Structure 1
Amino acid sequence: FTVVKAAVLAWPVLPFSAIRITAAGILVLGWALMRGSNVRMARRDLLAAALFGVIGQGIYQLLWAGAFGTINAGTSALLIAVTPFLTAILASLLRIDPLKPAVAVGGIIAFAGVVAVALGEGAGAFGGETAGVLMTLAAAVCWAVYLLAGARVIPRVGAIAWTAWSMIFGGAALFIIAIADGQFVGLAAPPPAAIFGLVFSTLGSSSLANVLYFTAVPIVGVSRVASFQLLVPFLAVVVSAAVLSEALEPIQAFGGALILLGIWAGRQTSLPFRRRLR
C-alpha cells in the first residue's frame, strides 16, 4: 500500500498499474512453466480468467491505486480488510455458500469500523476524501467478485494458472485503456520512486507474494495462511506513518480496531459473544 501510493503520486496510475500487473502475470506464468506446471485452460475457463481478470486485476487497480490521491495508505488497507465479508455476503446472495451467523455478526462489526474510518477521512463532506473512500470500497467489491470466480475455476485449472492468466488479461485491459487515453504519449521517464514501486510491487506483492501464498496453502492450510493477512492493515499503518508521515485520526484507529474485531468474530466456528441462558 505504501510503496504503490508513493509510486502513483510520482507517476500516472494507468501506466504504472498496466506495467506492474502484466509483468507480474508473465513472471508467475514463467515460474509455473519452469516448475513444469500445466497452465493450459479450457476455453470457458480462459474466458472466465479474461472477464474476471479485467474486473479483479484491471478495474480493481484503477479504483484502488487511483484513490491514493485522496486517501491515506493505512486507511486504504483498513477498508480493503472488509473484502472477506463482502465475499461472504456475495457468496450467500449467489447461493454459493450460506452466510453463517458468526460471519454476519463479524460483518456488521467490520462495517461499523468502515464507517468510522470513512468519517475520519472526511466522508460526508462530499469532497475528494469521500471519492477516495467510495473508490476503495468499490475496489474491494471487485476483488471479492474476482475471488468468488476463482473459487469456481481454480479446482479445475489450479491457483497458479488462474492467477497468472487473470493478471495478464487484467494488465492487457489496463494497457488498452492507457493507450486509448494517450497516457503513454509523451510520458516522462519514471522517477526513482516510481521505478522502485514498479520493481518492488511487481516482484514482491504481485508475483512473489502470490507464489508464496499458494505454495503455503497446501502445507499449513488455507485458514492459517489467510490469518496472516490480518497483519496487512497494521503493517500498512506503521509503514505509511514512518515513510509517508501519515497518521490516523483517533476515530480511524477505533474503526481499524472494529474491523479487526469483526474479522476475528467472523472466523469463529459459532456465534461469538453468545451467552448461555438458563
Structure 2
Amino acid sequence: MTHTAWRNLPTTPLMFVVLALMWGTSFVAIEVGLEFFPTLTFAAIRYEAAGLLMLAYAVYSTDRWRPQTRDELLATAIGAVFIIAAYHGLLYLGQNYVPGAIASIIISLSPILTAVFAGVILSEDSLGKVGVLGLLAGFAGVVLVADPGAGILGSAQGLGIVLIFLGAVSFALGSVLTRPLRTALPVQSMQAWTMFGGGVILHVWGLVRGESLAAIEWAPVGIASFLYLTLVSGAVAFLLYFELLDRLGPTELNLIGYVEPVVAAVMSFVLLGHAIETTAFVGFGAIFVGFAAMKKDTVVDAVIAVRRRVTV
C-alpha cells in the first residue's frame, strides 16, 4: 500500500473503534486483575502510574503543566475526588461481585445521570416529558441488568451493582461540577494531575480498608492486567482520546460509552467464557433508548457527522 493510500484511510473512525476496544476491554482487565491485587490498591497504583506518565507527556508537549488559578486547582480537585477516586474506587469494589461486561452496561447510565445533574445544578434546560421518559427508561435498563427476579436483591451481586451505580453517579456529578470552572490549563496537564491526585486518594482509602502492597500476588496474568490498564487503556487510550476530542468534539465522542459495553461483552466471552444474559442486553438497549430520548438532537447530529466522516 502506498503512502498516499495510507493517508486516504478514514483514520478518525478507526481511532474511535480502537479507543472503544481499549476502554471496553478495560472492564475485563479489571476483573482479571482483582484476582491478584487488593481492590483499591489496584486502582490506586494504576492511576498513580498513569498520572505520572501523562504528566511527563504534558511537560513535553504543552507550554504549561501545573494548575495555577483557583478554578484550575478546584477543577483538578473535583476530578481527582469524583471522577477518579470515587468513581473507580466504587467500580473496582463493585467488580469484586459483578462481571466486567455487566459493570460496563451499568456505567453506560452515566450520560443520562449527567444530563439530570446538569439540569438540577446548572439550571440547564429542564428534562421535559420526553426527558423524564428517557430517565425512566435508563433506570429500567439498570433494573433489567440487575434481574431482581433472579433473587439478586440482598445478594453479593446486588451489592456490586449498587456500588457500580454509585460510581456512575459520582462520575456524572464530577463532570457537571467542573463545567462552570474556567481553566486554560491544557487538557493533558489537567488529566495528569487528576489521575495522580485520584490515585493518591485511592491509596489512602485502601490503607484505611486495611489493604497492603504486601498482599499483591505478582503473577504474570496480574502483571499483564496492570500493565494493560496503565499503559494501553490508560496512557495510550487517553492520547487517542485527546486527538479524537480535537477532531470530533465532546458530543460525538461521548457516544463511545455505548460501544464499550458491546466490546466488554464480547471480550468477556472470548477471554473468560462469560456469557451475558439476554435481559442484560435488553437492559443496555433500554439505557441507550433513554439517552437517545433525552439527547435526541445530540445523537442525530453525532450519527450524521460520523457517517459524513466515513464516506468522505
Common fold: TM-score over 0.5: yes
Alignment-derived partner of residue 275 in structure 1: none
**How far does residue 230 in structure 1 lie from its aligned partner after superposition?**
1.6
Shift of 1:180: 4.4
The one of 39, 58, 74 equivalent to 1:32 is 58
- Contact in 1 for aligned 2:67/2:185 (Cα 8 Å): yes
Match of 1:111 among 139, 150, 153: 139
- CA distance in 1 between counterparts of 2:207 and 2:108 reads 32
How many Å separate the matches in 2 of 1:229 and 1:154?
Answer: 26
- RMSD value over aligned CA atoms? 2.4
Q: Quote how far apart the aligned CAs of 1:163 are.
A: 1.5
Match of 1:75 among 99, 102, 119: 102
Equivalent of 2:197 in 169, 178, 183: 169
Match of 1:126 in 2: 154
- The residue that corresponds to 1:53 in the other structure is 80
Change (3 A) 1:224 1:124: same
Tell me the secondary structure at the aligned position of residue 46 of structure 2: helix
Structure 2 counterparts to residues 1-278 of structure 1, below 5 A:
1-44=27-70, 45-101=72-128, 102-119=130-147, 122=150, 124-153=152-181, 155-184=183-212, 186-269=214-297
User: How has the CA–CA distance of structure 1 residues 242 and 95 changed in structure 2, closer, same or farther, with 3 Å as cutoff?
Assistant: same
Q: Which moved more, 1:122-131 or 1:97-106?
A: 97-106
Aligned counterparts of 1:15 and 1:121: Cα–Cα separation in 2: 34
Amino acid at match of 1:23: A
CA distance in 2 between counterparts of 1:39 and 1:121 reads 51
Cα distance, 1:164 vs. partner? 1.3
- Find the aligned partners of 2:299 and 2:69 in 1 and give their Cα distance: 42
8 Å Cα contact 1:56/1:146 also seen in 2: yes
Contact 1:121 1:129 in 2 (8 A): no
Query: Which segment drifts farther, 214-223 or 17-26?
Result: 214-223
Identical aligned pairs, as a percentage?
25
Aligned equivalents of 2:216 and 2:245: distance in 1?
41
Report the Cα distance in structure 2 between the residues aligned to 1:69 and 1:2, rounded to whole angstroms.
Answer: 12
Secondary structure at the counterpart of residue 126 of structure 1: coil
* Shift, 1:120, TM fit: 6.0
Conserved 8 A contact 1:120-1:251: no
The offset of 1:181, in angstroms, is 4.3
The TM-score, its normalising length taken from structure 1, stands at: 0.88
**Take 2:122 and 2:181, find their aligned partners in 1: how far apart are those partners?**
16
- After superposition, what is the alpha-carbon deviation per residue over 1:49-100, rounded to whole angstroms, capped at 9, x for unaligned? 2244122211222210111121121110100001001111011111252234
Name whichever of 82-91 and 255-264 sits farther off. Answer: 255-264
Deviation, structure 1 residue 207: 1.9
Q: How many pairs align?
A: 272
CA contact (8 A) 1:123 1:130 kept: no
Instruction: Quote the offset at 1:114 in angstroms.
Output: 0.9
User: Which amino acid in 1 is paired with 2:28?
Assistant: T
CA contact (8 A) 1:15 1:184 kept: yes
Deviations 1:243-267 (A, max 9, x none): 1211222222211221222233333
CA distance in 2, matches of 1:159, 1:152: 16
Residue type of the alignment partner of 1:54: V
Cα distance between partner residues in 2 of 1:245 and 1:216: 32
Instruction: Give the match's secondary structure for 1:215.
Output: helix
Partner of 2:3: none
